[in-house]
């Protein structure tokens, strides 16, 4: 089983749609979780951290479910500029130490 698994997509949605991505992780002791965004031919950039209580940043909401070991990202009112690959990222050891493990990414294509 991969340490971090994501549905690669692509997710093709119209502008204004709401879209959700899920990601599962295998290490139950992991404490740090992130969503990164990667545009075509560009480097990954942090989109948001994922906190136990869930967090929201404008149109983006991240949730963590420790019992089921999954993380979600919800994008409301999709814009053309949201088209990118979204990487789920988890730290590899207990607590906040260790390397980060990146999922393969979920590709989102927002159409006019």
Q: Which is nearer to other proteins, 74 or 100 (CB)?
A: 100
Q: Return the number of the residue (45 or 66) whose C-beta is nearest other proteins.
A: 45
32 touching other proteins, by CB under 8 A = yes
Q: Which of residues 58-87 bind other proteins (CB under 8 A)?
A: 87
Contacting residues for 43 by C-beta, under 8 A, at least 6 apart: none
Cβ 21 to other proteins shortest distance, Å: 15
The answer to whether the beta carbons of residues 32 and 86 sit under 8 Å apart is: no
Task: For other proteins, give the closer residue by CB, 6 or 83.
Answer: 6
Which run of H or E residues covers position 34? strand 33-38
34 lies in the binding site for other proteins (CB under 8 A): yes
Residue 101 · residue 91 · CB < 8 Å: yes
């Amino acid at each position: 089983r991969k340490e971090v698994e994501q549905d690669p997509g692509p997710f093709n949605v119209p502008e204004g749609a709401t879209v959700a991505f899920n990601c599962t992780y295998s290490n139950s002791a992991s404490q740090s979780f992130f969503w990164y965004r990667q545009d075509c031919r560009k480097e990954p950039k942090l989109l948001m951290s994922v906190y136990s209580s869930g967090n929201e940043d404008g149109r983006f909401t991240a949730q963590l479910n420790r019992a089921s070991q999954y993380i979600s990202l919800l994008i409301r009112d999709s814009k053309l500029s949201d088209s990118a690959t979204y990487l789920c990222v988890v730290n590899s050891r207990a607590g906040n130490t260790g390397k980060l493990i990146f999922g393969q990414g979920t590709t989102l294509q927002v159409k006019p």
